[in-house]
Structure 1
Amino acid sequence: MRHLNSGSKLGKQPDHRRAVLRSLVTNLLEHGRITTTLTRAKAARPVAEKMITLGKRDTLQSRRQAASYIMLPAVTQKLFSEIAPKFADRAGGYTRIIHAGNRVGDNAKVAILELIGYEFKLKEKKEKPKKEEEAEVKA
């Protein structure tokens, strides 16, 4: 019986599960928004919230704890200098999960895990030369 056992095992061994969560949280803090499966997003959300709470404390101990979990030192620095100050007056709920349908290959439920206040920027499309112009250049 799984009474009082919270959290998903994600079908992985404990070391692998911890590595997956570390990677997800590191990427979320680095990019502000990640796309993953719904189950992984639900598992990574509380960990990301705890990292941001550590960032808000901004003590030597909290910096060491965050650095031991986050994989990249630059992301740890970003957490304390950019991300945590944005949430200084917020008492929790730093992330949101947006359901994004199903994945084409295996029909898995996909979700977007993003930081609150993240501004999504579309990449500018590069204009390709028209085929008529290419034909004139070749001739």
Structure 2
Amino acid sequence: MGQRLGSLENLAGGPAVIDLLAEAPPTPALTDMPSGGVHPPARTVSLWVVQTVAGIHHWPLPGWEGWSLDFHGEDHTHQAGLLPADFPLPQPSLAAALRKLADGLGARRPTTPRCSPVPRPRPARKAPSPW
């Protein structure tokens, strides 16, 4: 079973969340790379996310006692290996991904002008020799 979860808060309900995921409609084919996922086989929560997960170091979360956490950071390759073959991760074009990255970086440029650099002191000149 593999379902997309948005954040650590989704785990706050304890293992009962698994029943909710099992009853949820199937996840549609992905058009963008997901931000994380949870696969709960054998009392193990396998988690990967691309953003900071505040509180994950307090594992087990309340309700998850007796469960282990298999945290993969932002390594989606483990996640990809857990997905069924008919549910592949999207393969966005590199050009489109680079444009999206450049657009995002451009939007974050500071709106205030940059300070001019402080001039470096010139090296001291040798005094002319009196001889």
TM-score by length of 1: 0.28
Q: Which has the higher contact order (CA 8 A, sep 6+)?
A: 1
Q: Work out which of the two has the higher radius of gyration on C-alpha atoms and give 1 or 2.
A: 2
